[in-house]
Structure formats: structure tokens, C-alpha cells
């Protein structure tokens, strides 16, 4: 195993969970171990690709096909829900300052919900979509004409064409990240901009153990990757999205640029090893709380995404678990481990124990604002 960014030998894993259950990016339990490596040369964090990753994405990874408006909840601001696609479109428009009529491609677009939001704000733009599957065609047809759609491979006529290529949450999945960026670079006109988001494990530690995310970037590995793929003027923004890096980079000259991971590598390596230590103790933290505080008491999990599923997967006995709670109405139609996902105000008085399954960086702050959790004294668990 070698680093997918710099090519250095990977050495021993920084984290390994051999239990039967790992968690995917769609918060599905998968019966394989989790193994994570930290590169000492560029601080890149990586997970070996799942077998048959192509087939997995083509058939098993149909995110949000159930309804037109289904999307991840990004935030709740003043009681108003903000969904991820809208937030991404807002940030892209602000950063790119696109001229009238600019040619824009959403590369790895899924249903194209971000492009849809973008075109709603800027109908003058020439929007295009591409993904490695054609299951999204019906959704694409509502957004752009067929000649601006491509599935499986981008046509040659699209080379050197785009003022901007957008890529939202794709780079973390690819086993050949440099080839992925090179393919995008070919589609940009000289000087065109790639606007890309990818999970930021520094802001959302859960990403470290998401088993189908091959790449978990640190700023040093992200910078090195973009430079070595022929991009310059690389801007890495860790603030505009609360759990992702937002990267804007320009198609640079054709001759290879000297790429360097920068002076901060040792600090990022230490930080990544800290994430490994966090997850090594998290399973035991769930088990200890369950044993010492929750045994036999009716319980619920607040949060039905990655962290909620992680907690449920680590319980020794799920019999007392009554349900999950989630404020995202699109989650409320689901069942996880045969438990329903309910709106938070459905929490019953006889539930004494609530495991808070949210990003630890924001869990306490978010839970404090969820009134139904605090209608009576309860034991709350935090990761
Ligand atoms: Zn490396």
C-alpha cells in the first residue's frame, strides 16, 4: 500500500477496527473491517478502496433518489432549514464570480441538485452535468438539455471548454485522485477554475472512519495533490462549509509544477494520529456508558446520520433502543436497525437515556437547542 497522493509507502495502519461493522458515507452498516493509514510524508489519510467500487456506486449508491427535494440538511438558521445543495450553490456563486453565459460543468453531479440551485440564481449560465452513472437522467432532464449531459465518460468535445468545473463530495471516493483531477483539468479552458468540496476530517472527525471514503485530506495532502495535477493559485477554505474544505484552483500551465506538501506536515500527521486515538476509544466509550448508565433503560439516539449509526453499531444490546430522533424530515421515513426515525418532539417521557449521535465538534451546542431533549432529566451520552 502506498500513499495515493505522494506515493510514499503507507507503513502500518494508524487505525484498525476489526469488528464486523463499518459505517459508509450514507450511514449504512457494512460488514467489513475499517483500516486507516496516515502518510508521514504528506499527512494524507486513506482507507483501502472497497472491492468493486465501480459496481458499488453504480447500483448501490443512489443517494436521495426517493424524492425531488430530498437532500442533506446542512444547518438550521433561525428555525429555517438550509439544505446542502443550496449552501453549496451559494458558496460557489460567491467564490467564482462567473461572467454572463459562462460554461459550467457539475462533475460527479448526482441528481444535479447543486447545479439546479445555481441555475435558479443564474439562469444565464450554460450548465452541464456529468456522472459515472446514468441513473440520474430523469433528474438531469429537468435541469439541462440532453446535449449538456454526459454519463460514464465526458465527450471529447468537452475538452478545454469550461470556464468552471464544480465537484461536490466526489474526490473523497476516488482511488486515483490525481487521475480524477487530471480528467477535470482537461475539461477546463486554460485559466479555468475548479471549484471543489471534499470532507474536512479536521472539522468532522467522523470522516476518518467512513469506510467508503478512500481519501481523508489534510491541508498538506490537498495542496500537494492539486499542484501535482497541474493546478495553480490553489485556495483552500476551511470556513465556508462547516465540514468540508472548499478548494478553488486554476488550470495551470501544461509543464509540471514542482509540488511540495509544505512545512506543516508534521503537525498534520500528529493531528491525524489524534483522530485515530479518538476512534480507538469511542467504541469503548459507548460500551462503558451502556454498561454503567444505560443498562436496561429505555433509550433513544438523537441523530440518524453517521454518528447515530456508529453508536447503534457499537451497542452490546440494542433491545432497550426505542428509536432514533432526527430533525431532518427526509430522515423520518427511514428505519435503522429496525428502529424508526422520529421527529424530536415525539420523544416520550419514559425514555431516560439519549445517546447524542452528532459531530462531536458541535454536538453539545446543537443538543442544547433541542427543547424536547430537556423536558425532563435525562442521561445524555456524547461521543
Ligand atoms: Zn503521502
C-alpha cell at 78: 433561525
CA angle, corner 143, sides to 142 and 148, nearest 5? 115
Q: How far is the CA of 44 from the centre of ligand 1 (A)?
A: 5
Q: How far is the CA of 45 from the centre of ligand 1 (A)?
A: 8
What pLDDT shows up at residue 330? Answer: 80
Across 111-128, b (16+ Cβ under 10 Å) vs e yields bbbbbbbbbeebeebebb
Q: How far is the CA of 380 from the centre of ligand 1 (A)?
A: 39
CA distance 364 to 381: 10
48 with 32: CB under 8 angstroms?
A: no
For 355, the 3-state DSSP assignment is strand
Per-residue pLDDT tens digits for 246-290: 999 999 988 766 677 778 999 999 999 999 999 999 989 999 999
Q: How far is the CA of 275 from the centre of ligand 1 (A)?
A: 17
Q: How far is the CA of 378 from the centre of ligand 1 (A)?
A: 45
Domain residue ranges in the chain: 295-382
The kind and range of the H/E element at 302 are strand 299-302
Q: How far is the CA of 126 from the centre of ligand 1 (A)?
A: 37
Q: How far is the CA of 133 from the centre of ligand 1 (A)?
A: 30
CA distance 73 to 60: 22
φ, ψ at 106 (rounded to 5°): -95, 105
Q: Which residues in the chain come in under a pLDDT of 70?
A: 20, 52-74, 77, 256-258
C-alpha cell at 143: 435541469
Per-residue pLDDT tens digits for 189-199: 999 999 999 99
Q: How far is the CA of 220 from the centre of ligand 1 (A)?
A: 9
Q: How far is the CA of 337 from the centre of ligand 1 (A)?
A: 37
Q: How far is the CA of 40 from the centre of ligand 1 (A)?
A: 7
Per-residue pLDDT tens digits for 148-198: 999 999 999 999 999 999 999 999 999 999 999 999 999 999 999 999 999
Q: How many CB atoms lie within 10 A of CB 250?
A: 17
What pLDDT shows up at residue 73? Answer: 65
Of residues 91, 84, 53, the one with CA closest to residue 240: 91
Q: How far is the CA of 154 from the centre of ligand 1 (A)?
A: 29
Q: How far is the CA of 35 from the centre of ligand 1 (A)?
A: 16
Q: How far is the CA of 33 from the centre of ligand 1 (A)?
A: 22
Q: How far is the CA of 231 from the centre of ligand 1 (A)?
A: 18
Q: How far is the CA of 39 from the centre of ligand 1 (A)?
A: 5
CA distance 131 to 271: 34
Q: How far is the CA of 95 from the centre of ligand 1 (A)?
A: 29
What pLDDT shows up at residue 24? Answer: 79
Q: How far is the CA of 5 from the centre of ligand 1 (A)?
A: 5
What is the DSSP pairing of strand 45-46 with strand 73-77?
unpaired
The DSSP secondary structure of 334-373, one letter per residue, reads -EETTEEEE-GGG--TT--EEEE-S-TTTHHHHHHT-GGG
CATH topology of domain 295-382: Rossmann fold (3.40.50)
C-alpha cell at 49: 478502496
Alpha helices in the chain (DSSP H): 53-60, 84-96, 113-121, 137-141, 177-187, 219-228, 265-289, 306-314, 363-368
- The total number of residues written for the chain in this structure: 383
What pLDDT shows up at residue 237? Answer: 97
Amino acid at each position: 500500500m502506498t500513499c495515493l497522493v505522494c506515493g510514499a509507502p503507507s507503513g502500518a495502519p494508524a487505525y484498525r477496527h476489526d469488528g464486523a461493522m463499518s459505517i459508509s458515507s450514507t450511514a449504512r452498516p457494512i460488514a467489513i473491517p475499517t483500516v486507516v493509514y496516515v502518510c508521514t510524508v504528506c499527512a494524507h489519510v486513506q482507507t483501502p478502496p472497497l472491492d468493486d467500487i465501480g459496481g458499488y456506486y453504480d447500483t448501490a449508491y443512489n443517494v436521495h433518489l426517493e424524492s425531488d427535494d430530498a437532500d442533506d440538511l446542512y444547518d438550521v438558521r433561525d428555525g429555517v432549514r438550509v439544505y446542502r445543495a443550496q449552501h453549496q450553490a451559494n458558496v460557489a456563486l460567491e467564490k467564482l464570480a462567473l461572467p454572463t453565459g459562462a460554461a459550467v460543468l457539475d462533475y460527479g453531479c448526482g441528481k444535479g441538485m447543486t447545479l439546479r440551485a445555481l441555475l435558479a440564481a443564474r439562469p444565464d449560465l450554460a450548465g452541464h452535468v456529468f456522472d459515472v452513472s446514468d441513473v440520474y437522467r430523469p433528474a438531469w432532464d429537468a435541469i439541462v438539455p440532453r446535449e449538456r449531459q454526459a454519463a460514464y465518460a465526458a465527450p471529447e468535445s468537452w475538452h478545454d471548454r469550461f470556464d468552471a468545473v464544480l465537484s461536490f463530495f466526489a474526490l473523497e471516493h476516488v482511488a486515483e485522485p490525481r487521475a480524477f483531477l487530471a480528467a477535470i483539468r482537461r475539461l477546463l479552458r486554460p485559466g479555468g477554475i475548479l471549484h471543489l468540496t471534499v470532507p474536512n476530517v479536521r472539522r468532522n472527525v467522523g470522516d476518518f472512519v467512513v469506510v467508503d471514503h478512500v481519501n481523508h485530506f489534510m491541508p498538506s495532502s490537498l495542496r500537494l495533490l492539486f499542484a501535482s495535477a497541474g493546478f495553480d493559485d490553489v485556495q483552500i477554505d476551511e470556513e465556508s462549509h462547516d465540514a468540508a474544505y472548499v478548494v478553488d484552483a486554476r488550470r495551470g500551465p501544461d509543464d509540471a509544477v514542482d509540488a511540495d506538501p509544505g512545512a506543516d506536515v508534521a503537525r498534520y500527521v500528529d493531528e491525524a494520529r489524534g483522530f485515530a486515538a479518538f476512534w480507538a476509544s469511542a467504541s469503548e466509550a459507548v460500551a462503558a456508558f451502556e454498561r454503567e448508565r444505560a443498562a436496561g433503560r429505555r433509550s433513544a439516539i438523537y441523530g440518524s446520520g453517521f454518528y447515530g449509526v456508529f453508536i447503534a453499531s457499537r451497542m452490546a444490546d440494542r433491545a432497550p433502543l426505542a428509536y432514533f430522533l432526527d430533525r431532518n424530515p427526509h430522515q423520518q421515513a427511514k428505519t435503522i436497525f429496525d428502529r424508526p426515525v422520529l421527529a424530536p418532539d415525539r420523544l416520550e417521557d419514559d425514555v431516560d437515556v439519549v445517546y447524542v449521535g452528532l459531530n462531536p465538534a458541535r454536538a453539545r451546542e446543537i443538543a442544547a437547542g433541542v427543547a424536547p431533549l430537556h423536558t425532563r432529566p435525562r442521561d445524555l451520552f456524547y461521543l
